[in-house]
Amino acid sequence: MRPNPVLLTVALTAALQAQSPFQPATPPPSPVPVLASYPDTPAGKLLREIKEHSGVVARVEYLADMIGPRLTGSEPLRRAQAWAMAEAKALGAVNVHEEAYDFGLAWTRGTDSARLLTQNGLRFRVDQLAWSPATKGPVQGELLLVDARNLEELQAFKGRLKGRILLRSNPDDKRPPLGRRGGGDMAAFQAEQTAMTQFLIDEGALATLSMSGRKNGLSFTTAGPGRDPKKPALPAAYVPQEPYRMLLRQVARQEPVRLELSLGGAFSAKPVQAHNVVAEIKGTDKANEVVIVGGHLDSWDLGTGATDNATGSAVCLEVLRALQATGLQPRRTLRIILWSGEEQGLLGSRAYVEAHKAELDAIQAVLVHDMGTGMVKGFELQGRENCRGLMAQAIAPLNDLGVRELPLRTMNGTDHAAYDRAGVPAFAAIQESVDYFEGTHHSQMDFPDHVRPDQLIQGAQAMAVTAWELLNMEGRLPHGIVARTPAPPAPAAAKP
């Protein structure tokens, strides 16, 4: 019997695709529906105004190109905040101000480099984990794969770590996964992580390298443990997949692989304050009640933070612009908030909730835009079934624009979560993913080139009209803390 050559080719192709870490490019986003006409209603006026005169893409470009990356605690973020306040005032907002909170040490990226001293001598991209300590100038060390997942596994490396640069990711790990981190106990998990880092320091390791979870040369960054100066920390960096896998293959040959590594980030001398920007359009007969529309103005610093989250920040300003241009007066007060510290753990929104505990009852709802450029398809209800009726009413004028989804699902990865946990109806927009989690999110590719104007303009329309309906409806969204079983730790990619 001869194998069928066609079937064999199909099977081979499938097997090769299954082995390749490089998935095909993401499918194109759903097209934005085109409205045949605009109703003669406030919602219709807002839709038309934003479609015909949107300033949202221009503001993303300004933030990204002229101000650039906006790490919390940095001078560029302070410039972005000054700019946003000036824009809000020019767009007719009142009560424009900043609210400060204690942030901790600021951190500035330096020059990062890596060069093999053996094998092929390649120089390749490394990006220091933000808030990790710098190397003491260029350091040279032999690479060692240390794919220990807990303290017990790590202790097996005792005596072999001195002067080594550690490869801490093993994408080819075939071991069955460990149980939930710390048995689901976050404090236990963090204590073990701290003990592991202390062990590496005590054993004399020089630095750690991890593989970027992104494909096709994309790097990644997030916050290292050094945000807390009391915790031990080692110099740490991400390496894109291709060079990282090369290092693994070189190490697998059982010959010494020596690397020169330089990571140049620096901490501020003293703790700094961080700030949230607030701007309002006052309501009329229900002015004491508030609808908050927000996004975070801070960003990571490998790209220019165009889709994370200049897009959401620009959408907030566009909501102000559309109200001013149409002359519409809301019954409740519209409050725009541009948070900071989102990327270090929703610090700005948490600080706001803490500082305004006594006023949370006056908030009708919080709406957040933080998933990049993609069009808005609805809002996560966070388990608030009792909000479904009024939320459905709020998005009804947007149904033909593709805004229809109100799943009960809970999303915790952005600033609405701080309000949600305090009992306030607070919802993140569900957005078309475009190439957010596969591409721009926290990577060096986060530039305005990846902004899709039609998708983002629809997002601004969706946020403006949903806010408008919530500002003006007779009913109030019910408050209350939603009882939830603790969520399993989110995969890294699920956090905007």
Count Cβ atoms below 10 Å from residue 203 Cβ, excluding itself. Answer: 17
- Least distance CB 136 / Zn ion (angstroms): 33
363 versus 368: smaller Cβ distance to Zn ion: 368
Query: Three-state SS for 222?
Result: coil
Annotate each residue in 116-155 with x if it binds Zn ion (CB under 5 A) or - if it does not, as one string. Answer: ----------------------------------------
Tokens for 221, please give them: 């960054």
* Angle CA 385–389–392, to nearest 5: 110
- Least distance CB 295 / Zn ion (angstroms): 8
- Least distance CB 170 / Zn ion (angstroms): 29
55 versus 372: smaller Cβ distance to Zn ion: 372
φ, ψ dihedrals at 41, nearest 5°: -135, 170
* Angle CA 127–133–138, to nearest 5: 70
- Least distance CB 298 / Zn ion (angstroms): 8
- Least distance CB 380 / Zn ion (angstroms): 15
Q: Which of 3, 59, 445 is nearest to 218 (CA)?
A: 445
- Least distance CB 308 / Zn ion (angstroms): 4
- Least distance CB 315 / Zn ion (angstroms): 12
d(CA 494, CA 421) in angstroms, rounded, equals 19
- Least distance CB 496 / Zn ion (angstroms): 4
Burial of 108: CB neighbours in 10 Å, binned 0-12, 13-18, 19+: middle
309 versus 349: smaller Cβ distance to Zn ion: 309
d(CA 443, CA 445) in angstroms, rounded, equals 5
- Crossing angle of helices 311-326 and 453-472, in 10° steps, is 60
Q: How many residues bind Zn ion (CB under 5 A)?
A: 4
Q: Are 448 and 41 in contact (CB under 8 A)?
A: no
d(CA 364, CA 426) in angstroms, rounded, equals 9
* Residues in 279-308 at the binding interface with Zn ion, rule: CB under 5 A: 308
Does 469 sit near Zn ion (CB under 5 A)? no
Bridge partners, residue 271, by sequence: 105
DSSP classification of residue 375:
P
d(CA 383, CA 385) in angstroms, rounded, equals 6
Residues sharing a CB contact under 8 Å with residue 8, sequence separation 6 or more, in sequence order: none
Bridge partners, residue 105, by sequence: 271
Tokens for 156, please give them: 């097996």
Residues sharing a CB contact under 8 Å with residue 32, sequence separation 6 or more, in sequence order: 375, 401, 402, 454, 455, 457, 458
φ, ψ dihedrals at 348, nearest 5°: -70, -45
397 versus 496: smaller Cβ distance to Zn ion: 496
Q: Are 150 and 140 in contact (CB under 8 A)?
A: no
- Least distance CB 375 / Zn ion (angstroms): 17
374 versus 496: smaller Cβ distance to Zn ion: 496
81 versus 309: smaller Cβ distance to Zn ion: 309
- Least distance CB 356 / Zn ion (angstroms): 22
335 versus 442: smaller Cβ distance to Zn ion: 442
224 versus 348: smaller Cβ distance to Zn ion: 348
- Least distance CB 271 / Zn ion (angstroms): 24
* Angle CA 5–11–13, to nearest 5: 100
- Least distance CB 309 / Zn ion (angstroms): 4
- Least distance CB 370 / Zn ion (angstroms): 4
* Residues in 304-323 at the binding interface with Zn ion, rule: CB under 5 A: 308-309
439 versus 496: smaller Cβ distance to Zn ion: 496
Tokens for 236, please give them: 């740490």
Annotate each residue in 343-372 with x if it binds Zn ion (CB under 5 A) or - if it does not, as one string. Answer: ---------------------------x--
425 versus 496: smaller Cβ distance to Zn ion: 496
Nearest residue to Zn ion on Cβ basis: 496
* Residues in 369-388 at the binding interface with Zn ion, rule: CB under 5 A: 370
Q: Taking the alpha carbons of 482, 487, 489, 490 in that order, is the dihedral positive or negative?
A: negative
Does 496 sit near Zn ion (CB under 5 A)? yes
Q: What is the largest CA-CA distance in the chain?
A: 84
- Crossing angle of helices 453-472 and 42-53, in 10° steps, is 150
294 versus 496: smaller Cβ distance to Zn ion: 496
126 versus 368: smaller Cβ distance to Zn ion: 368
Q: How far is C-alpha 335 from the geometric centre of its chain's CA atoms?
A: 22
72 versus 250: smaller Cβ distance to Zn ion: 72
Contacting positions for Zn ion (CB under 5 A): 308-309, 370, 496
